[in-house]
Structure 1
Amino acid sequence: MTGEGSDSWHIRLAREDDAAGFARIANEALQHGTGVVSSVPPDPDTYRILITRRHCLSAEADGHVIGFAACRPATRELHLEGLAVAKAWRRHGIGGSLVAAAVIDAANSGFQAITAITLGDEEGRSPFLERYGFVRIRDLGNQARLHRGVEQATQTGLPRDRLSAMIRFL
């Protein structure tokens, strides 16, 4: 999972000192309306706490964080709390590599599924995560945690009809 030549990058387990890079990239993604919707504030302290749980991944190039997948355990599922890639590094396969690595981590850690909340298109679809085996959960009646996450995202001003709770069973 690396680029080549001048686009050389790699994926690794996140370290606490990556938290500031996570926050910078998350805030950039919020401004451009990209990335996975997060129910946590995009600040270094919050990401530092998530990183200590040992399920966060960093994409790195030349010693700098250029993308991340922030995950946290949620009972039998691993929840993808945030996923974003720095604007200059998008369209290099980094986001997909982060998702694939998070899925591998979830499976190796014994989770039954990996979940996420995304801001989809006008029909609420998220083609990016769908390419990696995620499906939209249309009825959140049995998914209280994800229902709360969607409601929290709505309270921040995101349009409810474009929010999608998604799951990939392992």
Structure 2
Amino acid sequence: MDIQQLGIIGGIILATAAGVFGALTFISTYMEDKVQKGIKPLIASIEGLDKKFTASIEGIDKKFDLMMEVMSRGFKDVDKRFEQVDKRFEQVDKRFEQVDKRFEQVDKRFEKMEHRMEQMDTRIGHMDKRIELMDGRIELMDGRIEQMDGRIEQIDVRLGHVEEQLVRKS
């Protein structure tokens, strides 16, 4: 193996490491985009819930005013209105529970991504160590090639002497 081939191998190793780093950068950016896209529906959901809650409160205020008028007609109608209000509060409570569950899901996803990032960090560390080992091997090979070059020169000199002796004897 000559120096050019070792240079090519070294270039391939460096290109592979650069490619792995580029891929990891792409994956990290891609995951960040996914998280942002995943959070948008949650934000929209919370905003929608806020609008509904505000509308519910306004509706409750109106119904309370009506209730005061209805009291003169009878407590039976008032009880029905309270039941309606209770149902609406139950609906709002259910919406809050749904939002809480969504937050829990997002938390689990964050934990999962954090775990994956830790795994990537570990893998990158292993790759760095392997690349360092390869660099050491390449340096050893360079030294061996230099030794071989020196031996080849010695052999050439000796062959030259042998050739001279053969020419003299012939």
TM-score by length of 2: 0.16
Kindly indicate which of the two structures has a greater share of residues assigned to strand: 1
TM-score by length of 1: 0.16
